[in-house]
Amino acid sequence: MRTLVLYTSNTGNTKRYAERIAEGIGADILPFNKRKFKKMSLKDYDTIVYGGWLSGTTIQGVNEFLARWDDMSEKNVLIYAVGMGVVSKESRDNLINSNLLDLYHLRFYQLRGSFDYSKLKFPYTWMIRLGIKGAIQRNDPGTDAETLGRLIETPLEYDDNDGVDRVLSVLHRLASESKE
């Protein structure tokens, strides 16, 4: 089985997971580049993994990735999204709906990553501050000014080894099935 791992990453978490996945299964790995991806040949790969970081409920780059579905529909396609939020069935379903993933025959995983405001640049710093302001104004549950202020001051560190292992176990199973 020949596997390609593609990823988008702003502060390094999605990249780190992509590297572990690629190393674990022996895959080629590339940062996702919209323009290059439009033209690149996928014919040597029977499995493609796409990792995208989350901004709001959008998996970064996933629309451009899925735009080539016609070239991938006969392959194993796995997508993982990385965000700072707690992983739950509800958040996973929400991501599937928001990114229209149920229109495709693929496997989807939500992994948890770190969040470090000090690593962000404009416009992401502005987007985070705007998001916090909106949550406080709406009085969303658990989003008081103090809690959200902490998000800016204190980095949240999270290493989702279990999530990476879940993706890898599926890839190993697919690899053993392709040998049979």
Ligand X SMILES: Cc1cc2nc3c(=O)[nH]c(=O)nc-3n(C[C@H](O)[C@H](O)[C@H](O)COP(=O)(O)O)c2cc1C
Binding site for ligand X (CB under 6 A): 9-15, 53-57, 82-85, 113-115, 120, 124, 127-128
**Number of C-beta neighbours around residue 27 at 10 A:** 21
Using DSSP bridges, classify how beta strands 28-31 and 107-112 pair: parallel, antiparallel or unpaired.
unpaired
Q: Is the peptide bond before 141 cis (omega within 30 degrees of 0)?
A: no
Residue whose CB is less far from ligand X, 61 or 113 = 113
Specify whether the CB–CB gap between 49 and 167 falls below 8 A.
yes
d(CA 116, CA 153): 9
Minimum CB–partner distance for residue 86 and ligand X (Å): 8
Minimum CB–partner distance for residue 72 and ligand X (Å): 22
Position with the least CB separation from ligand X: 83
Minimum CB–partner distance for residue 178 and ligand X (Å): 29
3-state secondary structure of 179: helix
Specify whether the CB–CB gap between 36 and 64 falls below 8 A.
no
Residue whose CB is less far from ligand X, 54 or 148 = 54
Residue whose CB is less far from ligand X, 54 or 101 = 54
Minimum CB–partner distance for residue 114 and ligand X (Å): 5
Residue whose CB is less far from ligand X, 12 or 24 = 12
Chain position carrying tokens 């690629």:
22
